């Protein structure tokens, strides 16, 4: 009887959390449209975290608590040192990111259907799989990994080669896709950057990823590669969504690109939703699946407090942070990006490293597009090579991938993509 009551209470709490998560995005967009205070969406966002806190995983608990605690301590110290603080900004800083994250998560409702049982082999299978993970994942995000992985796993466990292709193909969308949360982070922590200036170097990095991975696939006997079929119909929604975002950005250039994506993504999801009836599928998604993003809510909100705390600490001791660096030179780019990628290998979320690096790099960033590109290149590489990233943990837990094997299979790729990003920075953004 007691277990039944606890179960009902937990289920009710989850449903409420789902509506709070959805309400955060809706109230933020409404506040932006009406040009009013962000007080209400901020309160709703923190309430969503409070409702889901007991059900969050141990890792999410630990990271969010440490970030929040350290951020508060640094903010208090800044107050003691009489540093001018924006406390409301600290707790609401990442609201645009959360709104975009919620909006894009609805695109999971448009996942490709799995009736086709064909399985392309060899080189065709490789290219079909990596393009599926990359092009579809660039829009509908992490859910494409499970669509492709579950299909490939029907006949046999995933091979090391398939795991490499899935991780790299998907994560490299972070180099350029405006529908990746990496993009939202880059545009938030390099505020003022233009996505049109980062998309070209990002696409070049994605192309280099595909070519390098194809070259490496010789170790896995590519002729026997079992792939996922990429259908032209499945590319229709991503194409329409991309065109919609471009048109809206052209017509309303004064509206932030994150806001445009946050509006366009749910519209596309409703138009291309697979299940019927639409209303019931939408309600079920909000109440059962949307609460799963609460861990991201906790992390993003805590990271906003942490980053504001770091800025307060730097302002408290300006003499300690006066580095003899005038700008982000190629060597600074290579050094900073390598440190951030290596930190990502041990499980530190890229958002954390970005929120820590931002107060240090922003004062010397003469070109905010260069800084945004640095963040995007780190995100796309770090998440693809670490068994402790969100994607890596999904591969380990769902498909029994070996953590050590992931590191062994990706160290060359890490070095190649890190060096390539630095070289592109040198060529495009100069010295």
Q: Which stretch of 120-129, 267-276, 327-336 has the lowest confidence by average pLDDT?
A: 267-276
Residue 238 has pLDDT above 80, yes or no: yes
pLDDT of residue 114: 53
Q: Are 241 and 235 in contact (CB under 8 A)?
A: no
DSSP of 20-40 = HHHHHHHHHHHHHHHT--SHH
Q: Which stretch of 4-13, 193-202, 222-231 has the lowest confidence by average pLDDT?
A: 4-13
Residue 322 has pLDDT above 50, yes or no: yes
CA torsion 328→334→338→340, rounded to 10°? 20
pLDDT above 70: percentage of residues in the chain: 94
Choose the most confident range, by mean pLDDT, from 6-10, 46-50, 94-98, 335-339: 335-339
Q: Are 165 and 209 in contact (CB under 8 A)?
A: no
pLDDT of residue 30: 95
Q: Give which of 334, 213, 67 is closest to 342, Cα–Cα.
A: 334
Give the tokens for residue 205.
């990095």
Rounded distance between C-alpha atoms, residue 197 and residue 218, angstroms: 35
Residue 5 has pLDDT above 70, yes or no: no
pLDDT of residue 9: 65
Q: Are 176 and 202 in contact (CB under 8 A)?
A: yes
Cβ within 8 Å of residue 46, ≥6 positions away: 91, 301
pLDDT above 90: percentage of residues in the chain: 38
Q: What is the DSSP letter of 121?
A: B
Q: What is the pLDDT of residues 99-153, one digit of tens each?
A: 988 988 888 888 765 555 667 889 999 999 999 999 988 887 777 888 888 888 8
Rounded distance between C-alpha atoms, residue 129 and residue 423, angstroms: 28
DSSP SS3 for 262: helix
Read off the pLDDT band of 321 (50, 70, 90).
low
Using CB atoms within 10 A of its CB, is residue 369 exposed (0-12), middle (13-18) or buried (19+)?
buried
pLDDT of residue 117: 62
pLDDT of residue 38: 94
pLDDT of residue 75: 92
Q: What is the pLDDT of residues 165-176, one digit of tens each?
A: 999 999 999 999
pLDDT of residue 349: 83
Residue 57 has pLDDT above 80, yes or no: no
Of residues 111 and 42, more confidently modeled: 42
User: Whole-number mean pLDDT of the chain?
Assistant: 86
Q: Hey, how many other C-beta atoms are within 10 angstroms of the C-beta on 225?
A: 22
Rounded distance between C-alpha atoms, residue 218 and residue 220, angstroms: 5
Choose the most confident range, by mean pLDDT, from 280-284, 390-394, 408-412: 408-412
Read off the pLDDT band of 318 (50, 70, 90).
confident
Q: Mean per-residue pLDDT for 276-283? A: 86
Q: In degrees rounded to 5, what are phi and psi of residue 226?
A: -95, 120
Q: Give which of 42, 54, 61 is closest to 11, Cα–Cα.
A: 54
Give the tokens for residue 199.
């998309």
């Amino acid at each position: 009887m007691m277990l039944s009551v606890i179960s009902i209470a937990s289920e009710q709490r989850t449903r409420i959390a789902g509506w709070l998560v959805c309400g955060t995005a809706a109230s933020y967009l409404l506040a932006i449209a009406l040009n009013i205070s962000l007080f209400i969406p901020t309160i709703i966002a923190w309430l969503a975290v409070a409702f889901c806190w007991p059900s969050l995983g141990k890792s999410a608990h630990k990271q969010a608590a440490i970030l929040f605690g350290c951020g508060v301590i640094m903010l208090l110290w800044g107050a003691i040192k009489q540093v001018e603080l924006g406390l409301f900004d600290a707790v609401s800083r990442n609201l645009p990111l959360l709104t975009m994250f919620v909006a894009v998560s609805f695109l999971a409702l448009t996942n490709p259907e799995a009736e086709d049982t064909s399985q392309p082999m060899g080189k065709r299978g490789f290219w079909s799989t990596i393009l599926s993970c990359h092009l579809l994942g660039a829009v509908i995000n992490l859910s494409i990994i499970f669509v492709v992985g579950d299909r490939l796993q029907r006949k046999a466990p995933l091979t090391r080669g398939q795991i490499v292709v899935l991780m790299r193909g998907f994560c490299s969308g972070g180099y350029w896709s405006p529908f990746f949360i990496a993009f939202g982070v880059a545009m938030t922590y390099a505020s003022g950057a233009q996505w049109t200036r980062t998309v070209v170097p990002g696409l070049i990095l994605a192309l280099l990823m595909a070519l390098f991975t194809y070259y490496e696939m010789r170790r896995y006997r590519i002729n026997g590669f079992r792939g996922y079929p990429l259908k032209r119909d499945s590319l229709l929604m991503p194409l329409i969504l991309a065109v919609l975002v471009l048109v809206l950005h052209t017509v309303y250039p004064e509206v932030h690109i994150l806001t445009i994506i946050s509006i366009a993504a749910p519209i596309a999801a409703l138009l291309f939703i697979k299940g019927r009836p639409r209303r019931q599928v939408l309600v079920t998604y909000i109440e059962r699946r949307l609460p799963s993003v609460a861990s991201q809510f906790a992390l993003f909100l805590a990271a906003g407090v942490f980053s504001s705390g770091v800025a307060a600490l730097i302002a408290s001791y300006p003499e300690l942070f006066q580095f003899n660096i005038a700008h982000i030179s190629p060597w600074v780019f290579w050094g900073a990006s390598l440190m951030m990628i290596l930190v990502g290998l041990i499980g530190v979320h890229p958002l954390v490293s970005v929120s820590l690096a931002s107060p240090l790099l922003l004062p010397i960033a003469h070109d905010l597009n260069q800084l945004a590109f640095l963040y995007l290149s780190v995100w796309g590489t770090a998440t693809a090579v670490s068994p402790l990233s969100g994607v890596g943990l999904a591969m380990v837990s769902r498909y029994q991938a070996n953590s050590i094997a992931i590191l062994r299979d990706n160290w060359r790729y890490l070095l190649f993509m890190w060096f390539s990003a630095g070289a592109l920075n040198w060529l495009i953004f100069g010295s």
